[in-house]
Structure 1
Amino acid sequence: MYINDSLKKVFVINIVFIFLAVHSSIAAEQLTVCVVNYPLHYFAERIGGEHINVVFPAPADVDPAYWMPDTPTIAAYQQADLILLNGAHYAKWINKVTLPRFKMVNTSAGFKDQYIESTEIFTHSHGSEGEHAHESLAFTTWMSFNFAAKQAKAIAEALSRKRPELSDIYKKNYAALERDLMALDRTVKEIVSKDRVRPLMVSHPVYDYFARRYGLIIKSVHWEPDEILTNEHMKELNRILKEHPAKWMIWEGKPKKESVERLRAIGVDSLVFNPCGNTPDQGDFLSIMRQNVENLTPVFE
């Protein structure tokens, strides 16, 4: 059968348009990505942009590390294209439910040999979450900004495996995020370098990776910023200060005015360095961390 050149060209053009339409449809289809904490939510959104839908369903008033999702929420995780985990035993509920292993990505697996084991185990409760323990394995890995960058890289790689045709976009977005994170890393190192032997108190045992990365000498209590310090709290602190003469208390949230005044009365000032494990009321992960770094500056002046 004879087909003239014009018909051949029309045929080829149609095939090309069909191919492009199918390719465009596939590329445009958003991946649903479920995460277990806010840092991973921020990293995924920065890297995936408009090509992914990031789901972080933990309520604003809970610690995602100890939150237990309900059955419909667990089902949503099961149906996601990717499930981003923090690793280091973060999000205890993961081990209590069935999730598709092939969808799960442990973003800190690349440095699991550098996890920190604590010598102390604290048990306490806050609000509706009930009693829980801060176990021997520290899990706020992203508080070391170089680890945060490695977790972000794991996300970029996982997205690229799912959508290879978008890998260049993911790599470009990751590179921009890495620059922001490593800029924070360099700034903290510069600030701390002015006085590497200064002892510090922290209100919660969530600063292990931060302290190790930047050479901070810390002792931890287990105080909630929304609770007014009692005489027992002050006795506990004074016992520690005898061997660890800190002049600053680092809080994970804004402390009560009465607590700040009680600490100031014994020569201890307060600052906030928010780990940002859950969605902030204002700003985003990067703006919160930049503010944290600014808050830290007076300590070493």
Structure 2
Amino acid sequence: MIKYIKQGWKPLLLLTAMLLVIAGCGKNSGGGIVEGKVNVVTSFYPIYEFAKTIGGEDANVINLLPAGVEPHDWTPRSQDILNTSKAQLFLYNGAGLEGWVPNFLKGIDSGSSLVTVEVSKGIELIDAEGDDGHGHGEEHGDEHGDEHGDEHGHEEGNAEESEDTHHIDPHTWVSPKSAKIIAENIKDSYIQVDPDHKEGYEARFTELSQKLDELDAKFTAALSGLPKKEIVVSHQAFGYLCRDYGLTQHTIMGLSPDAEPRAQDLVELSKLVKDEGIRYVFFEELVSDKLAKTLAGEAGVETLVLNPVEGLTKQQQEAGDNYFTLMEKNLQNLILALQ
């Protein structure tokens, strides 16, 4: 009898381990479906924050991307597809950021009532030259997300494309002006699937919109009077910020932080930093700062953080940071760099 019990521990331990793995998958996916609320699945952090703010007590928002993960090369798992099939809304940026979306939507249960919304719709998108090395930000068609749509303006990369191919810059949310359009699209999507709580969604959107207007005004006032207008950044994530506030970005990498620069590019950037009197090279916290520090060392300047707000680190989560606190820090670092 004792021998049987001891042998029985092995399958019991195995079963326990499997249950822990399954539970862990759900936690990493940002939570589960909640009955009695509008269940919303978001593709990455900024959309998650805006969706939670606008949804308030009427919504349960699940973010697919775990803390500390850079979104460009992340791909969902089967558990993410299962959760999303049970939700009412799936919100993603579009403009080529989430290359996994078309296949992801094909996996959604055919009986699902999910409404899919591309929240960058309505933003005047920016063309960006050059290949990012991963097919992100590729040519973006006129189609936008709709309910169970398979066409979301994303086209597969062509191996024969030249390096001068035009791509779309997907980093729309980095400018408060564009972020306001994203927030309005999120508000409209809530009203579409849950018109009974329209008043609450509109009220919370109005509060968020006012905060974005205030942030926009701060950027406009602070940056318009500075003598310098050029910044050097890790990857091509600040096009909308630069367009809206009269700046020019020079990038070490392309649209994706994984796109490797050529040695010639680094030499030219180093010369530009010296010639233009640029005092800082900006880097990001979710990707390696090695190249930024290498360039800064070569040019004899310092480094500073400029955050594309693609996600929070665990430390930022614990500190209570959010879109607004990170953008305020960005503004302070831009003021320091451009004086």
Structure 2 equivalent of residue 128 of structure 1: none
Aligned residues of 1:196 and 1:215 also touching (Cα < 8 A): no
Aligned residues of 1:47 and 1:156 also touching (Cα < 8 A): yes
Q: Does 1:110 align with 2:141?
A: no
SS at match of 1:137: strand
Equivalent-residue separation in structure 1 for 2:290 and 2:121 (angstroms): 41
Q: 1:262 to 1:238 in 2, by over 3 A?
A: closer
Structure 1 equivalent of residue 171 of structure 2: 140
SS at match of 2:127: coil
Structure 2 equivalent of residue 40 of structure 1: 47
Task: Give the TM-score normalised by the residue count of structure 2.
Answer: 0.68
| Deviation digits for residues 220-257 of structure 1 (CA, Å, limit 9, x no counterpart) | 112999xxxxx988535325447765333222228759
- The within-5 A match list for 1:89-100 is 89-97=96-104, 98=106, 99=108
Q: Does 1:289 align with 2:327?
A: yes
Equivalent-residue separation in structure 2 for 1:298 and 1:90 (angstroms): 30
One-letter code of the match for 2:37?
Q
Structure 1 equivalent of residue 187 of structure 2: 156
One-letter code of the match for 1:194?
G
Equivalent-residue separation in structure 1 for 2:75 and 2:328 (angstroms): 30
Q: 1:249 to 1:62 in 2, by over 3 A?
A: same
Shift of 1:165: 2.1
Equivalent-residue separation in structure 2 for 1:258 and 1:70 (angstroms): 31
Q: Does 1:195 align with 2:226?
A: yes
Equivalent-residue separation in structure 1 for 2:58 and 2:228 (angstroms): 46
Structure 1 equivalent of residue 75 of structure 2: 68
Shift of 1:168: 1.2
> How well do the aligned residues superpose, as a CA RMSD in angstroms?
3.1
Task: Give the TM-score normalised by the residue count of structure 1.
Answer: 0.76
Question: Which of the residues 201, 213, 234 maps onto 1:182?
Answer: 213
Question: Which of the residues 269, 288, 303 maps onto 1:237?
Answer: 269
Equivalent-residue separation in structure 2 for 1:203 and 1:166 (angstroms): 42
SS at match of 1:117: strand
Equivalent-residue separation in structure 2 for 1:258 and 1:107 (angstroms): 32
Q: 1:102 to 1:243 in 2, by over 3 A?
A: farther
Radius of gyration: which is bigger? Answer: 1
Equivalent-residue separation in structure 2 for 1:81 and 1:101 (angstroms): 6
Q: 1:101 to 1:270 in 2, by over 3 A?
A: farther
Over the matched positions of the two proteins, sequence identity in percent amounts to: 26
One-letter code of the match for 2:95?
A
Q: What are the ranges of 5 or more consecutive residues in structure 1 without an aligned counterpart?
A: 1-27, 124-130, 226-230
Shift of 1:270: 2.2
Q: What are the ranges of 5 or more consecutive residues in structure 2 without an aligned counterpart?
A: 1-34, 139-166, 258-262
